[in-house]
Structure 1
């Protein structure tokens, strides 16, 4: 066996002594005897009773919390910039017992508030110990819609907010929907027109009519002549109309101006009342 010798520092006697072999410096590890733990039925019964006690304690705590009067919902805070909508929500919740705040299901109340026409986004949150927080984003009216002879206040999504008349909201665009379906897709043409034109031109609009097959037809305030614009390129067609307006003024009054074809304008002059009566008289004489 190879033996390594190290040089030790000088001893007191001044002589150098070779170090002992490393194998001789290892200590023997004392091995402790392993004790076996026996699980007796008494141990099992004790663990079982301990777990039963813990579960029983949690059960009693849960029953206490869900029946504690201080955790019943007693305060409802509503954050909504629309005072009318806020009042409707208060009326909806008036006299209703919401119960314990820990087990109160907020989904049915969220659906009831969301069913209000003016409510766009509804968020309900619990605040311990007894407060329910309601945050509501109201819908914003975007236009007055006339459909089937009835006037409605609508938002950008086409939601019917409440019945109204065009005279009650002169600052909003007036949209007349003559299409057979009440799908919001028919309103997209009107929104597209309002997005393409600038603010000054938008304020001059008297009404916007949606029909098939004409598409979009508009009229300006102070001018009863309908402008048929079709289904697209509204801004370009209106710009072309203003370019040719001086020529069209020579033939007024007009029954309509058709701008559905790009870079083309078709119009029909109104027949004067004298000519109309003369034509009808001549027709009666011919029949006679």
Structure 2
């Protein structure tokens, strides 16, 4: 029996070796992927619904805000004031007593702070809110440095800010600063000069300063405790010059007797005048001590 085998002339009898298979190559030309977006157009019903939702949200928000600022539970009912000194604390308590501070949430702390530091003896104030109805205040007191006379005797700090006021000079714990022109001009500058003069003095010498007077010609007259001599100085090197006088006054009194004044304005020079010339002392008149 005969068997007929048909073989295609175009088809190879054996497949190509796997290594000879053709690899896949990415095309050099990039093709953009196109995505079709389905655009949805909101209809009138959707727009009306969004409008009413927005209006409803803001309405509820306004109602919540109105409730918060008008709620009695959030009204300021308790005020705690702390201060290392009693006088400023009592001043603040008297100022705030009976005042309606309103709702705690909308209480203006900056405005209240400015009102407090305008009071005598209060230099600074720190305020804090504590829900639901408490206001905490911490006061920084002013430190008194000397008295000034401006129609009344005023105890002031180094900035010239009022600590307390008196109709008469109460004591000599602090020196008195006066001005021949009643501080009608240059008050802050003169107060600054006075404090710079006193600050640089040694504590034991500072205690001896009873009064400082600013004269019209720019000089400063100093009166010391238990010393009738008028000491004339200027603002320049005040502490050094006054210290020089205090350390030499006993020697000068031995030389010249009682003195009316000592002028220390010229550097490295001392001009003095005898009060009552005495026999055996140097001649009366102005004397220069180099």
TM-score > 0.5 by shorter chain: yes
Contact 1:152 1:163 in 2 (8 A): yes
Alpha-carbon separation, structure 1, partners of 2:274 and 2:33: 120
Alpha-carbon separation, structure 2, partners of 1:208 and 1:144: 10
Contact 1:214 1:229 in 2 (8 A): no
Alpha-carbon separation, structure 2, partners of 1:203 and 1:117: 25
State the superposition RMSD in angstroms.
3.1
- Within the candidate set 256, 272, 279, 1:267 is matched to 272
Query: Any residues of structure 2 matched to 1:209-220 within 5 Å, and which?
Result: 209-213=213-217, 215-220=219-224
- Within the candidate set 30, 52, 56, 2:55 is matched to 52
- Within the candidate set 208, 214, 221, 2:212 is matched to 208
Tell me the alpha carbon deviations over residues 121-145 of structure 1, each in whole angstroms, 9 at most, x when there is no partner: 1233322222112222111111122
User: Which SS does the other structure have where 1:226 is aligned?
Assistant: strand
1:223 aligns with 2:227: yes
Rate the CA distance shift 1:185–1:104 in 2: closer, same or farther, 3 A. Answer: same
User: Which SS does the other structure have where 2:265 is aligned?
Assistant: coil
TM-score normalised per structure 1: 0.76
Rate the CA distance shift 1:259–1:30 in 2: closer, same or farther, 3 A. Answer: closer
1:130 aligns with 2:127: no
1:219 Cα offset (Å): 3.0
- Within the candidate set 153, 156, 179, 2:155 is matched to 153
Contact 2:198 2:239 in 1 (8 A): no
Rate the CA distance shift 1:192–1:165 in 2: closer, same or farther, 3 A. Answer: farther
1:19 Cα offset (Å): 4.4
1:157 Cα offset (Å): 0.8
Query: Any residues of structure 2 matched to 1:108-187 within 5 Å, and which?
Result: 108-147=111-150, 150-164=152-166, 168-182=170-184, 183-187=187-191
Rate the CA distance shift 1:252–1:19 in 2: closer, same or farther, 3 A. Answer: farther
- 2:13 aligns to what? none
Query: Any residues of structure 2 matched to 1:228-247 within 5 Å, and which?
Result: 228-241=232-245, 242-243=247-248, 246-247=251-252
Rate the CA distance shift 1:31–1:18 in 2: closer, same or farther, 3 A. Answer: farther
Contact 1:166 1:174 in 2 (8 A): no
User: Which SS does the other structure have where 1:268 is aligned?
Assistant: strand
Figure out how many residues of one structure are paired with residues of the other and give that number: 257
Alpha-carbon separation, structure 2, partners of 1:45 and 1:81: 63
Alpha-carbon separation, structure 1, partners of 2:169 and 2:35: 101
Rate the CA distance shift 1:151–1:103 in 2: closer, same or farther, 3 A. Answer: closer
- 1:41 aligns to what? 44
Contact 2:75 2:102 in 1 (8 A): yes
TM-score normalised per structure 2: 0.76
Alpha-carbon separation, structure 2, partners of 1:89 and 1:169: 25
